C-alpha cells in the first residue's frame, strides 16, 4: 500500500465515521463536506490511475449493472432541472401545462422546484462517487474488515452519545445546543433517522460477528461448551458489547418501526442463513438466540422497551395523519406518473393536493416509496427498486455459494440492512437523510462486493 493510496483509503474511512456526526449531515454545510471530499478523493484516484496506467474499468466491470443503473438515475435528476421547450414538457407531462399556464417563458423544467432538484442531484452524484470509491479502495479482506469495524464504531459512538444525552436531563444537547429530551437522537435531529442509522450499523456489526464464528465442529462436551462461551463473549467481546450498546440506543430512540424493522430483519436473515449456509453450525443459532434474549429482554427491560411497546399499542389511525398524506400523495403520482415533480420538491408540491384535514406542515411524505414515486416518477423509482433488489440478490448468492467467512458475514449484514430499510421506509423518510443514504448506498455496494471481491483469487 503506497502513501497516496493510504491517504485516500484512510480519508474515506474517516469520512464514513464523520457523516452522521453533524446532525446526520442533513444541513447544506454538512452535506457539502461529503460532496467536496468524495469528489476530490475520486478525482485524485482517477488522476493517479491514469498516470500509472491502471485499468479502472476492469475493476468496475463486475459492478457495471449497479453503476450504470445508478448513473441513469443521476442523469435523470439533471434532466429534471434543465430548461426545456414547453412542447417537450407538455408532451411527456401534460399536467405541467396547468402549472405553467400563467408563466410566459417558453423554456421550463420538469421539476417544479428546480433549485432543490439541483441540490438533490449533487447529493446523488456524491453517493455515486461513494459507490465507486468503495469498489476501488476496498480491495482486500483486511480493508473490508476495517470498513465494517468503522461502521460498527460509528454506530456505537452515536448510540452511546445519544443514550447518555437522553439520560442527562439537560434542556439542550451537548453539541449544537438543540432541544434535548429523554428520547435518544444521537447526532441526528429526528429520532427515526437515528434509529434507522443504528439499524444499518447493527446489521453490519452482526455480519462482522457472523464472519468471526468458528465453523469447526466440536467432538466433546468440553469443546462444545468452549465454542458456546466463545460465541457469546470470547474474542468477539468488543463487537458484542458494541452491539449491546447500539441496541440500547435503538430502544431509547422509542422508534416503533425502527425497533420492529430491526428484529424482523434479523429474524428473516437469521432463518435464511441457518437454512442455506453450506457449513451450518450451532454457533450461528446460539448467536442469534443470544441477540434476542440478552438484547431484547434484558437490555430492553432496563432501557425502555416497555415504552416502545406502549407507543405501539397506543398508536391508532385516528391519531396519525400519515395515511391521509399517502392518499393525497397518490394524487400527485396520478398527475405526474412518468416525469415526477422533481427530486426534493415534495414540500412545495404537496400543498397543491392536500385537503383541509391536513393541518400540519409536511416537508416529507413519511414514506420513501411514495416520495420517490412523486418526485422521480414511476419509471425511475422502479429502476431504483430494481437496483436495491439486485443488491439483495447478490447478498443471497454469497450466503448460498461462497465459502469465505468474511464475505458471508458481510452478505449477512447487507441482507439484514436492506430488509430492515425496506420495512422502515414504509412509514418514514430515512433515505432523505444524507447520513442514512450514504450508509445505505455503501451497504448496497458491499452486497455486490461480498460476491465479487477476491472471487478469482480464492475461487470461492
Phi and psi of 181, rounded to 5°? -140, -175
What is the structure's pLDDT at 317?
A: 44
DSSP state of 218: P
Q: Take residue 100 and report the three cell numbers written for it.
A: 405553467
- Supply angle C-alpha 371, 308, 313, rounded to 5: 85
Which residues, including other chains, have CB under 8 Å from residue 178's CB and lie 6 or more apart? Answer: 172, 189
What is the structure's pLDDT at 102?
A: 73
d(CA 325, CA 366): 8
d(CA 140, CA 56): 16
* Contact predicate 384/74, CB 8 Å: no
CB contact burial 10-21 (16+ within 10 A = b; e otherwise): ebbbebbebbbb
Q: Which positions of the chain have pLDDT values less than 50?
A: 234-235, 316-319, 458-460
d(CA 215, CA 452): 22
d(CA 175, CA 157): 14
The sign of the dihedral angle between the CA atoms of 447, 388, 346, 201 is negative
d(CA 434, CA 125): 12
Measured between alpha carbons, how far is residue 270 from residues 82, 335, 357 in Å? 46, 42, 43
Closest CA to 259 of 207, 184, 322: 184
Amino acid at each position: 500500500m503506497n502513501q497516496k493510496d493510504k491517504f485516500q483509503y484512510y480519508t474515506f474511512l474517516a469520512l464514513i465515521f464523520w457523516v452522521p456526526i453533524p446532525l446526520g449531515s442533513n444541513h447544506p454545510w454538512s452535506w457539502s463536506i461529503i460532496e467536496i471530499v468524495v469528489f476530490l478523493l475520486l478525482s485524485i484516484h482517477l488522476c493517479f490511475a491514469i498516470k500509472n496506467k491502471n485499468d479502472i474499468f476492469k475493476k468496475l466491470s463486475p459492478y457495471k449493472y449497479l453503476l450504470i443503473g445508478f448513473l441513469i438515475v443521476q442523469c435523470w435528476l439533471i434532466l429534471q432541472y434543465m430548461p426545456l421547450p414547453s412542447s417537450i414538457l407538455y408532451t411527456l407531462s401534460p399536467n405541467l401545462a396547468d402549472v405553467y399556464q400563467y408563466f410566459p417563458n417558453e423554456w421550463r423544467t420538469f421539476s417544479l422546484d428546480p433549485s432543490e432538484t439541483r441540490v438533490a442531484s449533487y447529493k446523488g452524484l456524491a453517493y455515486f462517487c461513494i459507490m465507486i470509491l468503495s469498489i476501488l479502495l476496498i480491495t482486500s479482506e483486511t480493508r473490508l474488515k476495517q470498513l465494517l469495524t468503522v461502521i460498527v464504531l460509528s454506530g456505537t459512538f452515536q448510540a452511546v452519545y445519544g443514550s447518555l444525552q437522553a439520560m442527562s436531563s439537560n434542556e439542550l444537547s451537548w453539541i449544537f445546543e438543540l432541544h434535548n429530551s429523554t428520547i435518544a437522537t444521537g447526532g441526528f435531529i429526528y429520532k427515526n433517522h437515528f434509529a434507522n442509522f443504528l439499524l444499518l450499523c447493527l446489521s453490519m456489526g452482526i455480519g462482522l460477528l457472523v464472519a468471526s464464528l468458528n465453523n469447526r465442529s466440536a467432538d466433546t462436551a468440553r469443546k462444545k461448551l468452549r465454542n458456546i462461551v466463545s460465541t457469546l463473549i470470547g474474542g468477539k467481546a468488543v463487537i458484542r458489547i458494541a452491539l449491546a450498546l447500539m441496541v440500547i440506543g435503538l430502544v431509547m430512540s422509542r422508534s416503533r418501526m425502527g425497533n420492529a424493522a430491526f428484529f424482523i430483519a434479523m429474524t428473516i436473515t437469521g432463518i435464511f442463513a441457518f437454512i442455506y449456509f453450506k457449513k451450518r453450525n450451532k454457533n450461528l443459532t446460539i448467536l442469534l438466540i443470544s441477540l434476542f434474549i440478552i438484547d431484547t429482554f434484558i437490555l430492553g427491560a432496563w432501557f425502555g422497551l416497555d415504552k416502545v411497546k406502549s407507543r405501539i399499542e397506543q398508536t391508532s389511525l385516528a391519531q396519525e395523519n400519515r395515511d391521509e398524506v399517502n392518499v393525497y400523495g397518490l394524487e400527485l403520482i396520478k398527475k405526474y406518473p412518468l416525469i415526477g415533480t422533481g427530486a426534493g420538491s415534495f414540500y412545495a408540491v404537496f400543498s397543491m393536493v392536500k385537503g383541509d384535514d391536513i393541518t400540519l406542515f409536511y416537508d416529507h411524505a413519511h414514506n420513501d416509496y411514495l416520495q420517490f414515486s412523486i418526485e422521480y416518477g414511476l419509471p425511475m423509482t422502479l429502476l431504483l427498486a430494481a437496483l436495491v433488489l439486485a443488491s439483495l440478490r447478490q447478498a443471497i448468492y454469497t450466503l448460498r455459494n461462497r465459502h469465505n467467512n468474511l464475505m458471508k458475514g458481510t452478505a449477512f449484514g447487507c441482507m439484514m440492512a436492506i430488509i430492515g430499510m425496506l420495512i422502515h421506509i414504509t412509514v418514514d423518510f430515512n433515505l432523505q437523510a444524507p447520513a442514512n443514504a450514504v450508509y445505505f448506498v455503501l451497504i448496497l455496494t458491499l452486497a455486490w462486493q461480498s460476491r465479487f471481491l477476491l472471487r478469482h483469487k480464492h475461487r470461492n
